[in-house]
Amino acid sequence: MRTGLVLDRRYEAHETGPGHPERPERIRAIRELMREYRRAGLVDVEPRLATDAELASNHAPAHVARVAATAAHARAAFDADTPVCSASYATAALAAGGYLRLLEAILAGDVDNGFAFVRPPGHHAEPDRAMGFCLFNNVAIGARWLRLRGVGRILIVDWDVHHGNGTQESFWDDPDTLYVSTHQYPFYPGTGAASEVGSRTAAGRTLNVPLPAGCGDDEYVAAFTDLIAPVAGQFRPEFVLVSAGFDADYRDPLAGMQATEAGFRAMTRVLMRLAEAHAGGRVAAILEGGYDLDALRAAVPAVLDELAGTGLRDALPSASPRSQVLAPARAAHKPFWEIPE
């Protein structure tokens, strides 16, 4: 398959200061990796700036204006975790716009799927608030953009180790968007309990799979094969978006999970099969967290290999018997979906 790749040194311009984990070196490490990893089928996609109207499709205009105003300051911060510099607004607009360019390329048939390696990340950004390293919610803006172009049911899968509170809030009332999150719980930002299933008009369209610290590939594979795939298959998405954080890796300094590149490979394979069955193979991933550079160097090629489609017919890694850690999510969603016992 042809896989679009959004990767640009301009994403390094967002400076967060000494010691901050969401640092320019994340993109630099991936750019260096891509000099060696250039398999057949990779297609470079040039990012563009998202317009203010595109940013405002998911964010309050006042929030867009607040972020834009930081361009006048060498240093500022929205909270203790979310510092910015004068280049941060433009970099964040390029992050959202880079994802939109990838979606454009997929819709046009120029590529089959793709991965946007951008920063700053986005899934914590709420409609009217920057937080958790995030200024604009890139994946939510992408979903809004797709909806305006006639895409109906959209699946957003967030495997970042932190719950995507901003994405959940953005689609809490939307019955045509299924938001799925696997995350360490309890943990930052404190949201993402299994009982959070969506509003009355969209009940069952938010699927939270909270996992205790220490979970690894077995639990993630079980969550994707035993719960997420059956629910998403019934939802029948027309497009699959992935908030691909790599901070569930066992090396990550900010979390306590034990996933390896094999787990990320398996999760991607499940989503590729879902997309092939329901969405014409259309999958668009975007970088969220992941703060250990060695983990990025190991997991990113694993995901790109799966996007190539070479593993679509291969068996998934075997997981241990269904873990009790999935029980709260299973119970919360039995009223809405047929979930295998």
Buried b (16+ CB within 10 A) or exposed e, 76-105: bebeebbbbbebbbebbbbbbbbbbbbbbb
**Residue 211, phi-psi category: left (phi > 0), alpha (psi -120 to 50), beta (remainder):** beta
pLDDT tens track for 103-135: 999 999 999 999 999 999 999 999 999 999 999
H or E stretch covering 208 = strand 206-211
Q: Is 124 a catalytic residue?
A: yes
User: Which pLDDT does position 185 carry in this prediction?
Assistant: 98
Whole-prediction pTM: 0.98
178-199 mean pLDDT: 98
Q: What is the mean pLDDT of the chain?
A: 97
Confidence bin at 303 (pLDDT 50/70/90): very high
Write down the residue that tokens 């049911």 correspond to.
Answer: 153
Ordered domains of the chain (ranges, CATH): 3-333 (3.40.800.20)
Percent of the chain with pLDDT over 70: 99
Confidence bin at 322 (pLDDT 50/70/90): low
User: Which pLDDT does position 129 carry in this prediction?
Assistant: 98
User: In terms of Cα–Cα distance, which of 54, 75, 77 is closest to 64?
Assistant: 54
Tell me the β-bridge partners of 155: 178, 240
Cβ contact 284:243 at 8 Å? no
User: Which pLDDT does position 39 carry in this prediction?
Assistant: 86
Whether residue 64 has pLDDT greater than 90:
yes
pLDDT tens track for 31-53: 999 999 988 899 999 999 999 99
- Candidates 123, 124, 162, 278; catalytic one: 124
316-336 mean pLDDT: 86
Cβ contact 266:259 at 8 Å? no
Whether residue 310 has pLDDT greater than 90:
no
